[in-house]
Amino acid sequence: MLTLLTSSFFRGVLESLTYGVVLLNIDRKAYAVNQRACDLLEVDAKEVIGKGGEELFAALAPCRRFFAAEESGVDTEETTTAGSSPEISLAGFLEQAAQLNGGAPSSLPPLDTKLTRKNRETRYVTLSASQLIEGGKLFGILVSLSDVSRIFHLHEHETALLKEKQALEQERSQALLNFSQAVAHQIRNPLMSMAGFARILHRKAEPGSSQAESLDCILEGGDRLQAIVNAVAEHTSWTPGKPTECDLAEVLAPEARSLLAETEHAAAPVTWELDLRPCPARIDADMVLGVCRRVLANSITALGQSGGHIILRCFPEDSQMVVEVKDTGPGMGPDVLPFVFDPFFTTDARAVGMGLTTAKRMAEESSGSLSVTSSPGQGTTVTLRFP
């Protein structure tokens, strides 16, 4: 082994590596190092030999996983966690690296660390450990040091841009909501006056006269405008509620029974299939009901005069809760499907076209998602998902 360590071949292999390497013996003392590791740690190669791993890597402070910060919502600058281990120190990392699992190499996740150099520059370094085994016995540990500072800063910059974009989109969305609310308010007052005077004139008009017919048109248009104003006001005024512990099946069952009773004796027969499995969740129950009411209303409208079949399901899937509404209506083609969530988009001349728009907003602002799949002649499926 000593001959190998001092050979030019071994040194050449060690120096050809693009990352820092330190070889430790079973006592965790350094016996070989390449120049990249020395440059990163700002030490001389001669000073490294014989030093303990903990002393050698003392300047490296374990920190949170570099590229999982935005997922956990925690600042990357805070200390202690590495890989999949909730908390691990440098000593613990080296100790685990020196352990054999029944004669086989033990699995050890990389350790993310932060290094403050002599010029006060911060570097981000990932440590990986590989066990050197021969004949089922551990004779050393190879510790690699990868300087991921450039990747870290690029990722940090990308995350900052993404947050800025999200903030701008949120600001724009709020501005649109405020604008819509103001417009709805400004239209509602004169609309009520116009409709009120039109009704007074309609009562005085001769039934069947041209004046009565004209006033009928005015009142019909007023009702249409009032429906639009109400839909916009409802969309803009909705705010997320407080999540509570509940069973999704128990939340949906009363609403489903109510709709079943309403459509049971309708002119267009609607049959129902309910598959409400137990789904304990922490959710805003009013939000779920609000979304489902709008989606089910769309399904009933889609069935039209010919009637049809509606399936309402709720079930757990992976780490999510799912509510699914499927109807046997005419379905939608690719020329219509991309626009179903757009405000005022509708294929029904009597509808306002805000139902799915509001439902999507309610779902997304409650950390959920709403999606639609449909094909002509195959019906439509609307799926609500949330954690």
What is the per-residue pLDDT across 6-24, written as a single tens digit (0 to 9) for each?
Answer: 678 778 888 888 899 999 8
Q: Are 248 and 288 in contact (CB under 8 A)?
A: yes
Q: How many domains does the chain have?
A: 3
Which residues make beta-bridge pairs with 276?
Answer: 314
* 214 and 337 share one domain: no
- Lowest-confidence region among 103-107, 249-253, 338-342: 103-107
CB contact at 8 A, 363 and 370: yes
Q: Give the model's confidence band at 376: pLDDT under 50 very low, under 70 low, under 90 confident, else very high.
A: very high
Quote the CA–CA distance of 252 and 48 in Å, as a whole number: 67
C-alpha–C-alpha distance, residues 317 and 281, integer Å: 12
Final residue of a domain: which of 183, 207, 237?
237
- The model's pTM is 0.54
Residues in Cβ contact with 55 at an 8 Å cutoff, skipping those fewer than 6 apart: none
List the domain range (segments joined by +) for residue 291. 240-387
Averaged confidence pLDDT in the chain: 82
Backbone angles phi, psi at 56, to 5 degrees: -65, -40
| Residue finishing a domain among 237, 253, 270 | 237
What the block records as the tokens of 267 is 């002119």
- Of 18-32, 36-50, 114-128, 174-188, the least confident: 174-188
Mean pLDDT of 262-267: 74
Q: Which of 117, 147, 177 is the last residue of a domain?
A: 147
Non-local (6+) Cβ contacts of 205 within 8 A are: 211, 212, 215
Q: CA-to-CA distance for 136 and 155, rounded, in angstroms? A: 41
Same domain, 367 and 245: yes
Is 161 in the same domain as 134? no
